[in-house]
Amino acid sequence: MKFGLQHPNFSFDYKNEDTSQIVGSLKDLILIAENTGFDSFWVMDHFHQIKFVGSPDEPMLESWTTISALAGMTTKIKLGTLVTGIVYRHPAILAKISATLDVLSKGRLFMGIGAAWNQEESFAYGIPFPPTKERLLRLEEVIQIILKMWTKSTATFNGKYYQIKDAYCNPKPIQKPHPPIMVGGGGERNTLRIVAKYADACNLFGSIETIKRKLSILKEHCKNVGRDYDSILKTKLGIVLIDNDKEVLNKSVNELFKGMPNEQIREFVIYGTQEEVLREMESFENAGIEYFIVDLDPSRELEQLELFADKIMKNIP
């Protein structure tokens, strides 16, 4: 199993309203992640903070600008957005942005993309937010446009929602045949079908039982479209909290998930002692997850990062 680190919360990256400290905090974090064996580093693609993480007035950096800056600070770790919502940028522009990132990072883009979900955010910024069915149809067109832009000398596409004609994307991405595309979301009828048709990786949420069900459905979609199921990297995003002090651990869980039932918490969070977290990670691996992207306690992220790398990553094959 490989591991990625997501950094969804910038509120602890500076003190006393001095936002110039953020860049140094991110540099320290990503270099430790790179040096302890994390394969990738991710930020969310949102313009204000989302309700599951904090309040909308909390700091939120623009994702592609952020990972571009981080590309210049690192040499090995892959960089991505988890995930870019297709309503935020025209697909031809997104193809150019992402190709540029792959070139400037010397081939380290991991392209995360999805249909978008945050209607409140779109309305706040004046971004049209089509119904779910249309966004999923748009997602299919967006992926096709990006692939054409990345791989063809000029790209032409005449879809229902998007049209481009003889569009250039030079220089091309360094990774060949193209950077890996990861589709985020677990919609069983449509999103996982899109994964089967186009994606190099899926990204899922959920408990072990949920993951088993979704991977079984993905396997059926692969069979229906003639895709090799094993060619798709199965990734999961989850919050991980580790502490051998049960009192401290329970306090952290209660603060982060006020009033949420335990069975619902378990859909998003792994928490426990080092041994308990390790056992649960092994269970996800046995269920078919090959790549785990972790969120750590933002109030003590560096401490938890080093603990996770030393006690969990080193002990999973």
Kindly report the number of other CB atoms within 10 A of residue 53's CB atom.
18
Tell me how far apart the alpha carbons of residues 155 and 50 are, in angstroms, rounded to a whole number.
35
Query: By the 8 A CB rule, do 86 and 129 touch?
Result: no
Rounded to 10 deg, the angle between the 191-198 and 208-225 helix axes is: 50
Those residues whose C-beta lies under 8 Å from the C-beta of residue 237, and which sit 6 or more positions away, are: 6, 82, 184, 203, 204, 205, 293, 295
Length of the chain: 317
pLDDT at site 214: 98
pLDDT tens per residue across span 39-71:
999 999 999 999 888 899 999 999 999 999 999
Question: Percent of the chain having pLDDT more than 70?
Answer: 100
Average pLDDT over residues 80-104: 98
- pLDDT tens for 201-223 read 999 999 999 999 999 999 999 99
CB 82 within 8 A of CB 133: no
CATH homologous superfamily, domain 2-315: Luciferase-like domain (3.20.20.30)
